[in-house]
Amino acid sequence: MAGDEINEESLEFSKACAESVLSKLEARSDKFYLPANIYGGDLGAALSLVRSTALFPEFAGQSRLLLTAILAAPKDTAARGVIDGVGAQAYAIAFASAILNEVPAAEKISDALRHQISARQAPRTSADLDLLHGLLGLCLAGFRLADAMARTPDSSLIGCAESLVEFVVLMDDRSLLAAMGCGASHGLSGVALAFFTFDRVGIHPAAAEQALRCLNLERHFWLQLEPTFDPKSDAERSWCRGTAGLTAAQIAATRTNIGISNIFSHPLEPLSPPQSPELLSLCCGLLGHCELMSRAANFIGDTSLNARSKREFELATKVFMSGKFCEISTIGLFRGLSGFLWTATTIHQGGACPSILLLE
Ligand SMILES: [Zn+2]
């Protein structure tokens, strides 16, 4: 499905972003910056480039070579959730395989991931439920990779995911909220995002129910602070720690078939753009807001959200091009130039493409 195309100026800018990211990655190909990191490292930048070939097919060959080189680069691959280390590599390979029609380096990463998961024996702690840095993210990446390789997930991976669901089942609401807090990076929305994936691959009968529980716990937390559900600060509006993370989990929830009728009873109200004009990033700023609106448009069939997303993207490019201070200073994905490229691609595809903010 084609989206509302962004205007010529923003398209030109997005192409310049692609060229800039390409040339920076090529220039440091003898020593990549954080080659196992999706958030701010070169792995995320390369992933964004590969994904943007839908918009700029002329860069397809170079993008593919760069991603392959980054995946092969020497690196510390210790397990740290879904955004860094072996989990990030597994997720990136799975994500890229759908675009490249191949699964580069999958066997090696699949073995490393299995090894690291087997080493993480119970008992579980709340630190394991951190999506970006914990065992939960590692499991999510494992299922994504198994799916991309068309394999049945390994028994140690299934056992680990089940133990995480059971750990949450045993926690009472108050302890769960106190231990996890809010947002997608490290909070309850992140747990919900992972558990919805566990549910889709049929891991544990309670996975979807517990995902909804996490989602509702976080939602009630915000409602109790602010009955009209209008987050005030930009931190409260962010994906990582705030209500945009909750929105990501709500969008993911629409893909399950249990009890979703209430999910959008506060339809997208947490989708408030940041108030500070310098906040542009995918993680905390306007690009993340655009990305979620486009993805939501696709899930719930509200095309007006696509139009809003396009307008805000054009605004984000204007702010950046004005040369005023903003938080974008690297080529990274979650806080850098690659975020522009990522969101431009999403808008171009009308939100009909997997999003990193939903860890799809
Ligand atoms: Zn953030």
pLDDT tens per residue, range 222-240: 877 666 667 778 888 899 9
Distance 356 CA to ligand 1 centre (A): 13
Q: Residue 284 Cα, ligand 1 centroid: separation in angstroms?
A: 4
The predicted structure's pLDDT at residue 3: 54
Instruction: Identify whether the C-beta of residue 38 lies closer than 8 Å to the C-beta of residue 333.
Output: yes
Residue 123: cis peptide before it, omega within 30 degrees of 0: yes
- Ligand 1 centroid to Cα of residue 236, in Å, is 10
Give the percent of the chain with pLDDT over 70: 93
Report how far residue 349's alpha carbon sits from residue 83's, in angstroms, rounded to the nearest whole number. Answer: 24
CA 124 to centroid of ligand 1, rounded, Å: 26
pLDDT over threshold 80, residue 125: yes
Q: Average of pLDDT values for 157-161? A: 96
Mean pLDDT of the chain: 91
- Please state whether 359 falls in left (phi above 0), alpha (psi between -120 and 50) or beta: left
Please say whether the beta carbons of 249 and 192 come within 8 A: yes
Cα(131) to centroid(ligand 1), Å: 14
Using the predicted structure, report yes or no on whether residue 267 has a pLDDT greater than 50: no
pLDDT at 76: 81
Span from the CA of 202 to the centroid of ligand 1 (angstroms)? 30
How many angstroms is it from 198 CA to the middle of ligand 1?
24
Q: How far is the CA of 279 from the centre of ligand 1 (A)?
A: 10
Distance 155 CA to ligand 1 centre (A): 34
Q: Spell out the SS3 assignment of the chain.
A: CCCCCCCHHHHHHHHHHHHHHHHHHHHCCCCCCCCCECCCCHHHHHHHHHHHHHCCHHHHHHHHHHHHHHHHCCCCCCCECECECHHHHHHHHHHHHHHHCCCCCHHHHHHHHHHHHHHCCCCCCHHHHCCCCCHHHHHHHHHHHHHHCCCCCCHHHHHHHHHHHHHHHHCCHHHHHHHHCCCCCCCHHHHHHHHHHHHHCCCCCCHHHHHHHHHHHHHHHHHHHCCCCCCCCCCCCCCCCCHHHHHHHHHHHCCCCCCCCCCCCCCCCCCCCCCCCCCCCCCCCHHHHHHHHHHHHHHHCCHHHHHHHHHHHHHHHHHHHCCCCCCCCCCCCCCCHHHHHHHHHHHHCCCCCCCHHHCC
Ligand 1 ion: residues within 5 Å (CB): 238, 240, 283-284
Rounded to the nearest angstrom, the distance between the alpha carbon of 151 and the centre of ligand 1 is 33
CA-based nearest residue to 60, from 72, 44, 49: 49
**Angle, nearest 10°, between helix axes 155-170 and 106-119?**
40
Q: Give residue 203's Cα distance to chain centre.
A: 21
> What is the CA(17)–ligand 1 centre distance, in A?
21
Ligand 1 centroid from CA 240, angstroms: 4
Q: What is the distance between the alpha carbons of residues 316 and 280, in angstroms, rounded to a whole number?
A: 6
Angle at 290 between CA 287 and CA 291, to 5 degrees: 85
Contacts of 149 (CB under 8 A, 6+ apart): 103, 106, 110
Residue 356 binned pLDDT confidence (cut-offs 50, 70, 90): very high
CA of 267 to the centre of ligand 1 (A): 22
Domain ranges of the chain: 171-270
Look at the block and give the residue holding tokens 């005023």: 324
Distance from Cα 276 to the centre of ligand 1, integer Å: 14
What type of residue sits at position 25?
A: L
Q: What band does 286 get if pLDDT is binned at 50, 70 and 90?
A: very high
User: What spacing in Å lies between the alpha carbon of 238 and ligand 1's midpoint?
Assistant: 5
Span from the CA of 305 to the centroid of ligand 1 (angstroms): 22
Distance, CA 273 to ligand 1 centroid (Å)? 13
CA of 138 to the centre of ligand 1 (A): 20
Which residues have CB under 8 Å from 23's CB, separation 6+? none
Q: What is the pTM of this model?
A: 0.94
Tell me: pLDDT of 262 over 90. no
Q: How far is the CA of 108 from the centre of ligand 1 (A)?
A: 31
- What is the CA(241)–ligand 1 centre distance, in A? 7
